[in-house]
Chain A
Amino acid sequence: MSGLEIPSWDPQTALLIGAILLEAIVLYAGYGGLERILGPPLLRLIVGGDGSGQ
């Protein structure tokens, strides 16, 4: 593997990188949704009161 190389097509590696890309997109959307749903009550729990401290 040493020396400069032109990348060749390797379906298995493409699948590996695709899995990381998919995980990143799912996490972006999933945590975004969770933040909207759980953010305000969590903030109330931490800060106390109506959570509008921010």
Chain B
Amino acid sequence: MSPEMLALFVGFGLVVGVLFGFFGMGGSFLVTPALLMLDYDPSVAVGSGMAFVFGTAVIATLKHHDLGQVDYKLGAIMITGTTIGIEAGRASVYYLESIGLAGALISVSYVVLLGGVGAMVTRDALRGDGGGIDHEAADKSLDEYEIPETAKKIQRTVRIPPMVSLRGDVRVSAWVITAVAFATGLLSGFLGVGGGFIRMPAMIYAIGVPVPVAVGTDLFEIVFSGGLGSYLYGQGGGVDLGIVVPLLFGSALGARVGSAATAVVDADGIKVYFGGMLLVGAIAVGVGEIGSYVGSPVLEAAGLVLVIGAAVVVAAAILYTSILSLRTTKGRQRATAD
């Protein structure tokens, strides 16, 4: 690998890490499209994307374990459903690759997914409802947590045994947990993403898990399912350490910076940019795919520049706002002292 590519992966990892650390989601689903646009085989793009997600999840779980925010029982139940889902998704990628449709279908799925989630986050941010992880809710104690109405309704109506008791005084059918896990696993296996942006809301609104436990358990679960998914892709030659190692090297540092930035910056003000970034990402993947279809290297390069550029702009906005906020606080402290 050339030093330029190595620097690109470390730098891109840093940017992805800042976004993941700040928003608690969304970093990983920029990696696979970028790798596809760099002309990697779909199985290598998805497999290496998943191995990167696995490494990121290991680091984040260690942190959430220290904070006591992991429900190991729920995680263990989810692992089975997610694993079967991931394997079904992975098998679909290899099948589609054998008939020459994998790259196009994965790209189209990304356009729909990034566009859909981007539109949802932008709409919520403009309304002031937030999007991504609610950092204030994530800091609440479990006793203060109220189970959402949808989850209460599901808990009352779906009572297929075995019923399971979870942290935060939640009692739910194991089948509901397995269904949520399978659906998000399928998405992970097909697209190489962690699936947290779907699994977390599903855990909160379908199962009724408190927000901090949903965040920690989701990451714990990704360690196992992502590890197994990476292993399966690795057996088929789909995991490239030359991609994963520099990406992880950059993202582990970026995640610390992004996570520290949540303490000094109001996330709601930046979420609209995050939504915009996902929408630009959707357009970028579409442009890149059209470029590849009509054989235009210019369009392919434009797609890559757009997807990386959008992520860089949002990460830079987070860092700039953090520094500005720190300097303002410092200035006020000096004025008060004077």
Contact = CB atoms under 8 A, between A and B. Distances in A.
A10 to B, nearest CB: 5
Interface in B251-278: 252-253, 256, 260, 263-264
Given A13-B231, A13-B235, A24 B91 contact: no
Contacts of B252: 24, 27-28, 31
Interface residues of A, number: 30
Contacts of A49: 330, 334
A20 B230 contact: yes
Nearest to B333: A53
Interface in B91-115: 91, 94-95, 97-98
Given A10-B235, A31-B252, A53-B333, A2 B98 contact: yes
A14 B91 CA distance: 20
Contacts of A28: 58-59, 62-63, 252
The SS class assigned to the A binding surface is helix
A10 B54 CA distance: 18
The SS class assigned to the B binding surface is helix
A35 to B, nearest CB: 6
Nearest to A26: B252
Contacts of B263: 54
B6 interface: no
Given A2-B91, A24-B55, A31 B232 contact: no
B255 to A, nearest CB: 9
B241 A53 contact: no
B245 interface: yes
Contacts, number: 104
Contact of A24 (B248, B264, B327, B329): B248
Interface string A6-39: 0110100110110111011101100100010000
B326 A24 contact: no
Contacts of B330: 47-49, 53
B227 A16 contact: no
A24 B245 CA distance: 9
Contacts of B235: 1, 7-8, 10, 13
A1 B236 contact: yes
B58 A21 contact: yes
B58 A7 contact: no
B123 to A, nearest CB: 32
Contacts of A35: 256
Given A20-B248, A24-B55, 11 more contacts: A3-B95, A7-B235, A17-B239, A20-B241, A20-B245, A23-B245, A28-B63, A28-B252, A47-B327, A52-B333, A53-B333
